[in-house]
Amino acid sequence: MSVLVFIDTNEGHVKKASLEAMTYGAKVAEQLGIAAEGVVVGTAKDDLAALGKYGVKKIHHVNNPALDHLDAQVFTKAIAEVATKTGAKVIVFSNNVDGKSIAPRLSARLKAALVSGAVALPDTSNGFIVKKNVFSGKAFANISLNTDVKIISLNPNAYQTIAGEGTAEVVIADVTIDTPKVKVTAVNKVSGEVPLTEAEIVVSAGRGLKGPENWKIVEDLAHALHAALACSRPVADAHWRPHNEHVGQTGTAIAPTLYIAIGISGAIQHLAGVNRSKVIVVINKDPEAPFFKAADYGIVGDAFEIVPKMTEAVKKIKG
């Protein structure tokens, strides 16, 4: 019996979200008095044994370069086989793109109850109850999972990574691998210093910036903070910024440690994608802007005066 964690990779490197999933899975395993194990699909360039420091004792590696790109159906079948062979009782994913495509399929295949977007460890004192966000982060729900095998997908940044000691035993998983039905013919990577979903700090701007020609001040602040860039939807719709930077209900949902919103009003649809950020700083010239209600820190004033001053201050502090 085990808690099995899907260890997600990008070009062979383990994603930050997977480190959180492993730390979380190891804690769930500890609660249940069983071991945490991991499964990696595709080529791995990182030292998998070293992942033992996040609490996984054994890693099953489905080591096949044909699976270097996500094909949810093939991945699901391979992971289901590993889960069945290892007697996994709880399977943990990160609630990112890969987790969102695989976990529901696995749930159907294994007839296992699934909670997507978990934000805390399960309460196992009386059953198996997992807390998750609902209504775009405006409320929590506690979901009771009553099947033998349970699946949890953990919201990125909801659980802190803890690195300890130890190495994991790495074994090649002997599973049937179907020929992927999807063939990736080209990959056009988004350029940017930090990927949005993995970023600790995000600097975001909205229509208050007036036009794309004014983004230099936002970029300078992001650069000084080593942050990712984001924007509100109208900004992307107007082609001031690329759509991959659009955050919110219909854009990417993020949960960085620090979210700085510049010239964004704070509409509910925008908040839906950013309100899991740990600290929110809002810069807006309108003291009545709704975003201030969701802010931890607010600066009322003109972004064109404030942002360059902030950048200078950050540069000074960082030396």
Ligand X SMILES: Cc1cc2nc3c(=O)[nH]c(=O)nc-3n(C[C@H](O)[C@H](O)[C@H](O)COP(=O)(O)OP(=O)(O)OC[C@H]3O[C@@H](n4cnc5c(N)ncnc54)[C@H](O)[C@@H]3O)c2cc1C
φ and ψ at 300, to 5 degrees?
A: -90, 115
The answer to the question of residue 197 lying near ligand X (CB under 6 A) is: no
The answer to the question of residue 303 lying near ligand X (CB under 6 A) is: yes
Q: Which of 289, 294, 295, 310 binds ligand X (CB under 6 A)?
A: 289
- Residues in contact with ligand X, shown as a per-residue x/- string from 259 to 278 under the rule CB under 6 A: ----xxx-x-xx--x-----
- Given the rule CB under 6 A, which of 45-53, 176-184, 221-229, 282-290 is the region that contacts ligand X? 282-290
Residue 32 CA: distances (Å) to CA of 51, 72, 162, 318 = 21, 29, 19, 44
Tell me the site size for ligand X, rule CB under 6 A. 26
Residue 299 CA: distances (Å) to CA of 51, 285, 292 = 42, 8, 9
- Given the rule CB under 6 A, which of 37-45, 108-116, 122-130, 284-292 is the region that contacts ligand X? 284-292
The answer to the question of residue 14 lying near ligand X (CB under 6 A) is: no
- Given the rule CB under 6 A, which of 48-56, 105-113, 192-200, 247-255 is the region that contacts ligand X? 247-255
Burial annotation 82-107 (CB, 10 A radius, 16+ → b, else e)? bbeebebbbbbbbbbebbebbbbbbb
Dist. CA 42–CA 292, nearest whole Å: 45
Minimum gap (Å) between residue 255 Cβ and ligand X: 15
Half-sphere exposure of 308 (CA within 13 A, CB side): 7
Residue 53 CA: distances (Å) to CA of 121, 162, 165, 166, 265 = 19, 8, 5, 5, 43
Minimum gap (Å) between residue 190 Cβ and ligand X: 18
- Given the rule CB under 6 A, which of 20-28, 53-61, 192-200, 285-293 is the region that contacts ligand X? 285-293
Please name the helix (run of DSSP H) or strand (run of DSSP E) that holds residue 291, with its range, or none.
helix 291-294
Dist. CA 37–CA 163, nearest whole Å: 15
The answer to the question of residue 42 lying near ligand X (CB under 6 A) is: no
Q: Which of 285, 292, 314, 315 binds ligand X (CB under 6 A)?
A: 285
Minimum gap (Å) between residue 202 Cβ and ligand X: 13
- Given the rule CB under 6 A, which of 65-73, 129-137, 193-201, 281-289 is the region that contacts ligand X? 281-289
Minimum gap (Å) between residue 117 Cβ and ligand X: 17
Which stretches of the chain bind ligand X, using CB under 6 A? 206-208, 232-235, 248-251, 263-265, 267, 269-270, 273, 283-286, 289, 302-304
